[in-house]
Amino acid sequence: MRRKIVAGNWKMNGSKDLSEKLVGYVQAEAGSLDNGVEVVIIPPAIYIRDVLKQAEGAVSVGVQNVGQWQSGAYTGEISSEMAKDAGCDYVLVGHSERRQIFGETDELVAEKVALVVASGLTAIVCVGETLEERESGLAESVVSSQVRLGLSAVSSGDWKNIVVAYEPVWAIGTGKTATAEDAQAMHASIRSVLKEMGAPAEEISLLYGGSVKADNAAALFSESDIDGGLIGGASLDAKEFISICRYFPASS
């Protein structure tokens, strides 16, 4: 069965106080979930240790970005090996903000993915189209290309360490959300592309991200190809975040 995952991306937000209070609450509530959801928190790297102290095994921890090298004279960068050594399980790769603000390409994403899986971590590979691309009818082709290029270096034994997060750029932090039907259609398309690539498509978790909140999570997570969410702003509110985690039916 595919993993059900709800991951909170704090982006450039956080503090030691938030790490203690929010993660402590989420950790306590996560232990009572009966729906098999894996709860993941992805803070700024400087707070990973603080988050890990509160997570206590009930919550997995990830890092928002790694460099395309494992060591060297790259001031300001951290490597996937460092992320693993720090206690992380997940790495975000290719988030739209990394692509748009920092100019990351699909080719760079592929390099990073290869290093992440080689380190034994799980890469959450982000894909998604802009509003202009969607309105031009290019959404599916853009996302398909991002999937094919970004995952081009994944070998047959490494697919177990791949999660794909579909985040339409126009829905990130805007309050706009793709309809559940539109999100499902894109997730089904992504799964089809993965199958064409020779990946075990039915075993790979696909997450939706883009203004997910407690009031729309149930509709999104009820779709057959949506296996969870990559949550932005709502992950900074402990009660809202854990409410989103509860919107899967109980495990049978």
DSSP letter at 152 equals: T
d(CA 125, CA 167) in angstroms, rounded, equals 10
Catalytic hit among 97, 104, 133, 167: 167
d(CA 25, CA 18) in angstroms, rounded, equals 10
Distance (Å) of CA 96 to CA 104, 166, 168:
9, 10, 9
Tokens of 170: 């126009």
Catalytic hit among 29, 81, 95, 187: 95
Told to judge if 187 belongs to the known catalytic residues of this protein, a careful annotator would answer: no
Contact 220, 212 (CB under 8 A): yes
d(CA 6, CA 83) in angstroms, rounded, equals 20
Told to judge if 167 belongs to the known catalytic residues of this protein, a careful annotator would answer: yes
DSSP letter at 22 equals: H
Q: In residues, how long is the chain?
A: 252
**Residues with catalytic function:** 95, 167
